[in-house]
Amino acid sequence: MNSKKIAAGVLAATGLVAAATAALAQPYYDPEYIGYRYTYYSDAEKTIYAGDIWDEGCGGDPAYVYVVRANVPSAYFTKEAVFYCGNGYIEPIMVG
Q: 21 pLDDT band (50/70/90 cuts)? A: very low
Question: What mean pLDDT comes out for the span 63-70?
Answer: 92
Q: How confident is the model at residue 89 (pLDDT cuts 50, 70, 90)?
A: confident
Q: Is the pLDDT of residue 6 over 60?
A: no
SS3 call for 18? helix
Q: What is the Cα–Cα distance from 39 to 80, expressed in whole angstroms?
A: 8
Q: Would you say residue 78 has pLDDT above 60? A: yes
pTM check: above 0.85: no
Of the pLDDT bands very low, low, confident and very high (cuts 50, 70, 90), residue 26 is: low
Q: What is the pLDDT of residue 96?
A: 58
57 near 79, Cβ under 8 Å? no
Query: No. of H helices and E strands in the chain?
Result: 1, 6
CA distance 31 to 29: 6
